[in-house]
Amino acid sequence: MVIPFPSVEMPIPKVIRPAAVITAACLLLAPAWARAAGEETGAAAEGIVVIDPGHGGGDQGINSPAGLLEKDLTLSLARRLKNKLETNLGLKVILTRSGDYDVSPLERAAMANHNKADLFVSIHLGGAASQTADNFMAFVAEPRPVRDGAPQAAPPSWLPWNEQNGPHREAGRRLARAFLVALSTWLAREAVDPLGGDWLVLKGVGCPAAMVELGSLANPERERTYLEKSFMDELSSVLFEAVNRYLEDDLG
Amino acid sequence: MARPAVKSAAMLLAAAALVASFLLARSGCGRAGRAPGEGRAGPSAIAPGGDQPKTMIELYFSLPDGSALATERRLVRRDEDTVAQSRAIIEELKRGSEGGLAPLLPVEMEVRAVFLVGKELVIDLQPRVREAAAGTLQEALIWYSVVNSIIMNVKQVSGVRFLVDGLETDAILGHMDMRGAFSERLDLVKWY
């Protein structure tokens, strides 16, 4: 038995007509409403930020002369930044490690991709052979330069793991620049350009990603500031301002 | 009296000993074993006048503020053997700057082997290198001080690859992807 498809001639109950019109209008306007809602609350209000506290576990990172460990300071800064982003911007923030344990660089990148991160920030401190060094720097993933004339493999039709960050490189550079502008203003220094490189933790991240290095623990003056709670609070506020500025400029 | 006869016999004995020691020295008897490559024929051998051939190279160290690389010129022994010349450059880097630049190579960085594959120089490091701690920028300067110093001075080398204990590894000092060969990066150098 064949059920006839209802033709236009079929009588439609009067009460259904307005409901159908309203439903269709809702369906058509839904994307615009969603965009408007995003603009009101900040475009990334439902976004996910992954913060990566550098090092951890057996990998202590830089060890200062007074015994400060980079792995502890990065975790402390990451927690402070997480709190500010969640409280002030309503973002969902995930840390790649929440305690003192080993996580490999590739696992950190995988964590960002698994959680469909919209933004990835890796926090580090510096070290140097010289006690006068105290660089505040930001890094972005960039392919390793190849010599002119060196044979290069044809690009594959799919995006390999190591190049997941490729499509987001320019956005990552803007994020890194936002960090450097905020930090240089705070420190009253001249802003430098982000340094591109083959950074293991960034190259596999499938969203805008940057790594910051916040002074040198080999520098006694910088080490002293890291012993002060107020410095950590201020520094995390500067990092928060940089992320906020990036979101406003790029997505706002 | 027998005294003049004894005196002349002693003189004869001394002269014989002198001749014998001269002959022994020429034949090489009593010398320690030669190091590989030592005394081989070729341009890197000791010149007839006793002068070692030298060459001027540019080594890449860190600026004192740790922000970039800077170069320092140095006269070093010239060796036509690519691996030997590269090893000499690494040794000079380990000796540090003579002109006020900051040293870069950590003490934990010890070379296990160096060899050439085509135009790629492979530097195999002792596992102890993993004990070294370096910041992100510092790590970039460490690797590129070696890469730049070799590629810019040894024309037979166009790439440098680092291994640890004979194996390629994704990270050595924690930040940089160490897989594959490195080419020089002159954008990390601050020129005067």
pLDDT at residue A128, rounded to an integer: 79
CA distance A128 to chain B (A): 6
How would residue A160 be classed by pLDDT, with cut points 50, 70 and 90? confident
Confidence of residue A42 (pLDDT cuts 50, 70, 90): very low
Residues 6+ away with beta carbon under 8 Å from A247: A42, A43, A44, A47, A89, A119
- Residue A213 in contact with residue A135, Cβ under 8 Å? yes
- Place A37 in a pLDDT band, splitting at 50, 70 and 90: very low
| Contact list, B180 vs chain A (CB under 8 Å) | 144
Q: Give the nearest partner residue to B135 out of A125, A147, A201, using CB atoms.
A: A125
pLDDT-derived band at A159, boundaries 50, 70, 90:
confident
Residues A220 and A209 sit within 8 Å (Cβ to Cβ): no
Nearest residue in chain B measured CA to CA from A203: B177
Contacts of A134 in chain B (CB under 8 A): 65
pLDDT at B141: 96
| Distances, alpha carbon A242 to alpha carbons A49, A85, A182, A186, A245, in Å | 13, 11, 6, 11, 5
> How far is residue A86's CA from residue A47's CA, in Å, rounded to a whole number?
10
Contacts of B177 in chain A (CB under 8 A): 144, 162, 198-200, 203
Give the per-residue pLDDT at A21: 53
pLDDT value at position A252? 64
**pLDDT for residue A147:** 67
Q: How confident is the model at residue A200 (pLDDT cuts 50, 70, 90)?
A: very high
**Nearest Cα residue in chain A from B141:** A128
Interchain proximity B133–A213, CB inside 8 Å:
no
| Nearest CB partner across the interface for A135, out of B66, B159, B182 | B66
Q: Which residues of B touch A109 (CB under 8 A)?
A: none
pLDDT at A45: 52
Percent of chain B with pLDDT over 70: 73
Do the Cβ atoms of A122 and A201 come closer than 8 Å?
yes
Pairing of strands B120-125, B159-164: parallel
Which one-letter DSSP state was computed for residue B129? G
Enter the tokens of residue A22: 């309203």
Q: Dump pLDDT digits (tens) for B124-178.
A: 999 999 999 899 999 999 999 999 999 999 999 999 999 999 999 999 999 999 9
**In this prediction, does ipTM exceed 0.85?**
no
Q: How far apart are CA B83 and CA A211, in angstroms?
A: 36
DSSP B102-116: BP-S-TT--EEEEEE
For residues A124-150, give the mean pLDDT. 86
Residues of A in contact with B134 (CB under 8 A): 62, 127
pLDDT exceeds 60 at position A15: no
**Residue B176 to residue A197, Cβ atoms within 8 A:** yes
Contacts of A200 in chain B (CB under 8 A): 170-171, 175-177
Query: Considering only CB atoms, which residues of chain A are within 8 Å of chain B?
Result: 55, 59-63, 104-106, 124-130, 132-135, 137, 139, 144-147, 150, 162, 195, 197-201, 203, 211, 213, 216
Residues of B at the A interface (Cβ-Cβ below 8 Å)?
62, 64-67, 102-104, 133-138, 140, 158-159, 170-171, 174-177, 180, 182-185
Distance of CA B5 to the CA centre of its chain: 59
Q: What is the mean pLDDT of residues A155-180?
A: 88
B138/A126 Cβ within 8 A: yes
Question: What residues of B are in contact with residue A132 (Cβ under 8 Å)?
Answer: 64-66
Measured torsion, CA atoms of residues B81, B86, B87, B91, in degrees rounded to the nearest 10: 140
Q: What's the pLDDT band for A31 if we cut at 50, 70, 90? A: very low
Of A140-144, B24-28, B53-57, B188-192, which gets the smallest average pLDDT?
B24-28
List, for residues A57-116, the tens digit of each pLDDT value. Answer: 999 999 999 999 999 999 999 999 999 999 999 999 999 999 999 999 999 999 999 999
Cβ–Cβ under 8 Å, residues A129 and B132 = no
- Which of B62, B141, B175 to probe by mutation at the A interface, max A CB count within 10 Å? B175
Q: How confident is the model at residue A12 (pLDDT cuts 50, 70, 90)?
A: low
pLDDT tens-digit map of B28-43: 333 333 333 333 333 3
- Local confidence band at B191 (pLDDT 50, 70, 90 cut-offs): confident
CA quadruple A111, A113, A118, A123: dihedral sign: positive
Q: Find, in chain B, the residue whose alpha carbon is nearest to that of A141.
A: B176
Under the banding of pLDDT at 50, 70 and 90, the label for residue A40 is very low
> β-strands A136-141, A195-197: how paired?
parallel
Q: Is it the case that residue A28 has pLDDT exceeding 80?
A: no
With H, G, I as helix, E, B as strand and everything else as coil, classify residue B119: coil
Of B102, B135, B185, the CB nearest to A126: B135
Q: For A26-40, A181-195, B60-74, B78-92, which range has the lowest pLDDT when averaged over its residues? A: A26-40
pLDDT at B4 over 80: no
Q: In chain B, what residues touch A55 (CB-CB under 8 Å)? A: 174
**Other C-beta atoms lying within 10 Å of the C-beta of residue B139:** 24
Contact across the interface for A59 and B174, Cβ inside 8 Å: yes
Q: Do A128 and B62 touch (CB under 8 A)?
A: yes
Beta-strand pair A136-141/A209-216: antiparallel
Residue A44 pLDDT more than 50? no
Does the structure show a pLDDT above 80 at B190?
A: yes
